[in-house]
Amino acid sequence: MPRDLSKSNAHFQRAVKKLPLGVASNFRYWGEDRTIYVKHGRGARVTDLDDNVYVDYRLGYGPAILGYADPRVDAAAIEGMKVGGVFALSTERELTVAERISKMVPAAELVRFSNSGTEAVMAGLRLARAYTGKDDYVILEGSYHGLFDAAMWFTPMDQWSQVGDPEIKPYSEGVPVSTRSFAHFVQANDANQLEEVFKRNANRLACMLIEPIMGNCLGIAAEPEYLKVARELCDKYGVVLLIDEVKTGFRVARGGVQELYGVHADLCTFAKAVGNGYPISVLAGRERIMRKLGRGVAHGGTYTAHAVSMAAAEKTLEILDETDALKTIAEYGTRLRAGMRAVLNARGIAHSFVGHPSMSGLYFAAEPPRNYRDWKSSDYSFYDAMARVLHDEKILCEPDSREPWFICEAHDESCLKDTLAAFEIAVDTTLQSGSVSVDKVSA
């Protein structure tokens, strides 16, 4: 049955009168006739107001690692609800969750909680600045670390002419220009450039902020040697290595990207998968740095370590640590890649998969990108056109090619079958539309 969005569209017309763009986050607005309003999510599927049932690979940008409404986590959350709310006091469970995080991530010697990834990274940068007594930071082109001023300088690659360096712009109006000078942009996987930046700014750098698998940029992965050099440079120049694991944490491995690469951060941040969707984030790291919290560095918030989120996190992390959930997720991701690859190869469409099978970027060029600039020369317009057809076929991926496909434990055989059938239709429809060109593997 063709997708009917009449109820969602009618709701949009009402919502837009009260909510800017009719939604609660700019990213959720997909146009007045394509914005989706959710009725509920179960497992790996989401049902909208029109009763369209989608296989979901967005998972709320990653959090639902076990699937929506996971009964094990929800039962724990209900127990958390019985605790009674927030008290501006601590509960015992914070320690249990912190101990689990330290067990899974060795660099997480001490732990503080907050509610969103943005809050955790913002606190991490502040702590790094306080610890080093410096203000500047190194940041990678294409990275996303949340919506706070320091993280809102970026290189709008879609506007880049592919000559010289891309412009650095604020991601939003309202970001003070005075915050610009603190950020030093580098390209992923260029160790020489990184060394230059460290050398030139040694007395100003507080922090290197890095997402070794870029969860908002196709899953572009740091090469192991690059991350090793980054670690060494941070040690040499007394710079805090802040590994942002908001998307990779408790997803790409039990110990996150740090376990995959065998690299330890000074500070690291987590959110998303920690609570299977209940709002919680984590700033963790080396004791010598973390002890500055409360000894000169402010950190807190009315809702930090909410009893419901803590209970959900306790159960989610227990499952991720003690069961094969992550193996199941990676295996599904690998099979999904293989199925998509077969469809694309059969049509001679050059492509590659980027990142980790649990959060795959689909890239339309034969060689995977090493940095964000490479994305510009890929055929991302094919992806963008194809994504719209996938939505019509009830497969939810982000409309923008830079967002990876997230897998959860609840993605099963039926999801795979539905996805690959829809993928084939979407690829063919996009090819037939003739409005986009794709690189062919061979003539």
Catalog residues that contact ligand PLP under the rule CB under 6 A.
Answer: 61, 116-118, 121, 144-146, 211, 215-216, 244, 246-247, 271
Per annotation, catalytic residue among 48, 70, 244, 374: 244
Q: In this structure, are residues 356 and 330 in contact, taking their beta carbons and an 8 Å threshold?
A: yes
Per annotation, catalytic residue among 134, 247, 272, 394: 272
Q: Which is nearer to ligand PLP, 242 or 426 (CB)?
A: 242
The residue at minimum Cβ distance from ligand PLP is 117
Q: Which is nearer to ligand PLP, 5 or 220 (CB)?
A: 220
Q: Which of 155, 156, 267, 258 is nearest to 213 (CA)?
A: 258
| CA dist., res. 204 & res. 128, Å (int) | 12
Q: Which of 185, 121, 126, 127 is nearest to 153 (CA)?
A: 185
Asked about 4 being catalytic, the answer comes back as: no
**Least distance (Å) between residue 122 CB and ligand PLP:** 9
**Least distance (Å) between residue 216 CB and ligand PLP:** 5
- 114 forms beta bridges with 281
**Least distance (Å) between residue 276 CB and ligand PLP:** 14
**Least distance (Å) between residue 215 CB and ligand PLP:** 5
Distant-in-sequence, close-in-space partners of 359: CB < 8 Å, separation ≥ 6: 62, 213, 215, 219, 247, 248, 251, 252, 333, 404, 405, 406, 407
Per annotation, catalytic residue among 57, 137, 144, 363: 144
Q: Which is nearer to ligand PLP, 137 or 382 (CB)?
A: 137
Distant-in-sequence, close-in-space partners of 328: CB < 8 Å, separation ≥ 6: 409
Q: Which is nearer to ligand PLP, 240 or 340 (CB)?
A: 240
Asked about 68 being catalytic, the answer comes back as: no
Q: Which is nearer to ligand PLP, 7 or 28 (CB)?
A: 28
* DSSP state string for 358-405: TEEEEESSSSPPSSHHHHHTS-HHHHHHHHHHHHHTTEE--SSTTSPE
Asked about 272 being catalytic, the answer comes back as: yes
**Least distance (Å) between residue 25 CB and ligand PLP:** 9
Catalytic residues: 144, 244, 272
